[in-house]
A and B are shown apart, each in its own frame.
Chain A
Amino acid sequence: MLVDRFNGAVRKLPVWGVYGIGALPLASVIWLAVQGNLGGDPVGTLERDLGLWALRLLILALCISPLRRFVGMNLIRFRRALGVLTFVYAALHLTVWVTLDLAFRWGEIFAALTKRPFIIVGMIAFVAMVPLVLTSNNWSVRRLGAAAWQRLHKVTYLAAGLGALHFVMLSKVWKPELIAYTAVMVVLLALRLVPKGRRRTALV
């Protein structure tokens, strides 16, 4: 069956390859920054690009389970790398915000964290990812037990929803890009609501 051959091939790919590919956008943006080629507003561009990559990686991570469940493609091995990369990009996005955008203006930073809903939403999304990244290792799965670990990692859905909401709330108009991200996120989260009674089936 086609999907079995796919799964067989994929088993041979190294996980570090995902980390390598996932680091490429970061390397690219650092290169552009060093060259001074981020345009007239390098801070805004950097902040936005890091945030968008976090969202994209999270979307990719959220595709893995539905692909296995509804299509039979098994990419579970790569999910942890995608999740960890999501956290790294989100952490860099937050770091740029604090150090370059608000430039350590602590009064404004704390005002933003307490008064601006879109910032609060983003911050909750980030904080929610901390226990997830800390438990993204085999030791944690063993300590917690698979069932508890899986329950904890459902917090991913909260982080994902809030991440998309953060993006919506900071936008001024519903541009096509925003509509696309929101729609994809809604679909991926909604797929989790499909009742689990059915056996896993492959299309081919």
Chain B
Amino acid sequence: MPFRPDNSLTRADVTPKQLWLNRRHLLLGAGAAFAAGPGFAQAVKSPFSTTEEPNTLEDIGSYNNYYEFGFGKEDPAAYASSLTTTPWSIEIGGLVDKPGTYDLADILSQVTLEERIYRFRCVEAWSMIVPWNGFELASLLNRVGVQAEAKYVAFETVVRPEEMPGQKTAALDWPYREGLRLDEAMHPLTILATGIYGEPMPNQNGAPIRLVVPWKYGFKSIKSIVKISLVADMPETTWNMQNAQEYGFYSNVNPAVDHPRWSQASERRIGAGLFGGRVDTLPFNGYADQVAQLYAGQDLKVDY
């Protein structure tokens, strides 16, 4: 009789993840369980999460702009495995009370990991829903103590051309740099993310730690961070240096302000399929209620 697989198992039969991880915890010891990633199974749910259905991990991990690994959307998934993400530390400096090089494990030991399901909108007019695991940037900034003169937060991505082949080209001015105004950085929506779907961050999504600022175009959410600086002057940001006419410092998602070369009025949802059509883009990517007041009095056509 030919082997026939048993198809009578259903999703209801799957061991709940919490239980499965706890059993591993018992078998392997506390240290080994956390080797998979600190506290993901315990990530706290957040009222900041959208109720929309997230994209699959496959979509999130196979459609990426990460020029350090190549220019195609499939390149980061193909090449990012060359990046070593442990050990990892972030150099925190500038106008802070406690500057220094902070080991990632140390940073994570003092934060509460939350699940934040956010809309993610690329400037290229495509979007996804991503279930990030992370913590508020504000908690890290408060830990190191932000001084009164600080007005902006500057970030840098790692530079390792031997692991990130795209950095051997001059397509962008490496290291990749980004920045936020201090109030944007301290906003509860702004997180540093270390995982997706309760799994450690895939390399192609910016492992081991990246910024997520959901009301701005995706390129502001800098990946694989090694440096955070508190500064008094507006910092240089990579895409603004690349083309100031097209990529502004703020880059808030805004259907009323077009990119010079294409409209921002609508977007294509990744994972919606061939006949998914387009959806209307929302001001501040749908986070207007939480962030519009940060820009009161600013002309967003000028501060694009």
Q: Which residues of A pack against B, CB within 8 Å?
A: 33, 36, 38-44, 46, 100-103, 105, 108, 111-112, 115-118, 169-170, 172-177
Q: Could you write out 12 A-B pairs with CB less than 8 Å apart?
A: A38-B274, A39-B73, A40-B59, A40-B270, A43-B276, A100-B274, A101-B268, A111-B263, A116-B263, A118-B262, A173-B172, A173-B242
**Interface readout for B256-269 with A: 1 if CB under 8 Å, 0 if not?**
00100111011010
Q: What A residues does B126 contact at CB under 8 A?
A: 41, 44
**Interface readout for B268-296 with A: 1 if CB under 8 Å, 0 if not?**
10110111111000000000000000000
Whether A39 touches B263, Cβ cut-off 8 Å, given contacts A44-B268, A102-B278, A175-B171, is no
Whether A108 touches B271, Cβ cut-off 8 Å, given contacts A173-B242, A175-B71, is no
Does B74 have its Cβ within 8 Å of any Cβ on chain A? yes
Known: A33-B274, A173-B172, A175-B71. 12 other contacts (CB 8 A): A38-B274, A39-B73, A39-B74, A40-B55, A40-B63, A43-B268, A44-B126, A100-B274, A108-B263, A116-B261, A172-B124, A172-B242
Residue of A nearest to B239 (CB): A172
Contact A36 B261 (CB under 8 A): no
Q: What B residues does A101 contact at CB under 8 A?
A: 268, 278
B146 to chain A, nearest CB (A): 34
Give the A-B contact count at a CB cut-off of 8 A.
69
Q: Rank and list the top 3 A-B pairs by shortest CB-CB distance, nearest first.
A: A103-B277, A40-B63, A40-B59
Contact B274 A46 (CB under 8 A): yes
Whether A41 touches B278, Cβ cut-off 8 Å, given contacts A112-B263, A117-B261, is no
User: Once the chains are docked, how many angstroms separate the CA of A177 from the CA of B59?
Assistant: 24
| Number of B positions contacting A (CB below 8 A) | 31
B262 to chain A, nearest CB (A): 6
* Residue among B124, B265, B278 with max Cβ neighbours from chain A (10 Å): B278
Main secondary structure of the interface of B (DSSP, over half): loop
Whether A41 touches B63, Cβ cut-off 8 Å, given contacts A46-B274, A103-B278, is yes
Contact A116 B274 (CB under 8 A): no
Contact B274 A173 (CB under 8 A): no
Which of A39, A44, A172 contacts B62 (CB under 8 A)? A39
User: Once the chains are docked, how many angstroms separate the CA of A16 from the CA of B168?
Assistant: 45
User: Once the chains are docked, how many angstroms separate the CA of A200 from the CA of B190?
Assistant: 68
User: Once the chains are docked, how many angstroms separate the CA of A96 from the CA of B272?
Assistant: 15
A120 to chain B, nearest CB (A): 11
User: Once the chains are docked, how many angstroms separate the CA of A143 from the CA of B222?
Assistant: 62
Residue of A nearest to B59 (CB): A40
Residue of A nearest to B274 (CB): A42
Contact B71 A173 (CB under 8 A): yes
Q: What A residues does B273 contact at CB under 8 A?
A: 36, 42
Q: Which of B44-78 contact A (CB under 8 A)?
A: 55, 58-59, 62-63, 67, 71, 73-74
Contact A105 B73 (CB under 8 A): no
Q: What B residues does A173 contact at CB under 8 A?
A: 67, 71, 171-172, 242
**Interface readout for B231-270 with A: 1 if CB under 8 Å, 0 if not?**
0000000000010000000000000001001110110101
Contact A105 B266 (CB under 8 A): yes
Which of B67, B262, B270 contacts A41 (CB under 8 A)? B270
* Residue among A36, A43, A108 with max Cβ neighbours from chain B (10 Å): A43
Contact B265 A108 (CB under 8 A): yes
User: Once the chains are docked, how many angstroms separate the CA of A38 from the CA of B275?
Assistant: 13
User: Once the chains are docked, how many angstroms separate the CA of A123 from the CA of B276?
Assistant: 24
User: Once the chains are docked, how many angstroms separate the CA of A118 from the CA of B259?
Assistant: 13
B168 to chain A, nearest CB (A): 11
User: Once the chains are docked, how many angstroms separate the CA of A85 from the CA of B191?
Assistant: 50
Whether A108 touches B266, Cβ cut-off 8 Å, given contacts A39-B63, A100-B275, A175-B171, is yes
A174 to chain B, nearest CB (A): 7
Contact A177 B274 (CB under 8 A): no
User: Once the chains are docked, how many angstroms separate the CA of A169 from the CA of B262?
Assistant: 11
User: Once the chains are docked, how many angstroms separate the CA of A43 from the CA of B271?
Assistant: 10
Q: What A residues does B265 contact at CB under 8 A?
A: 108
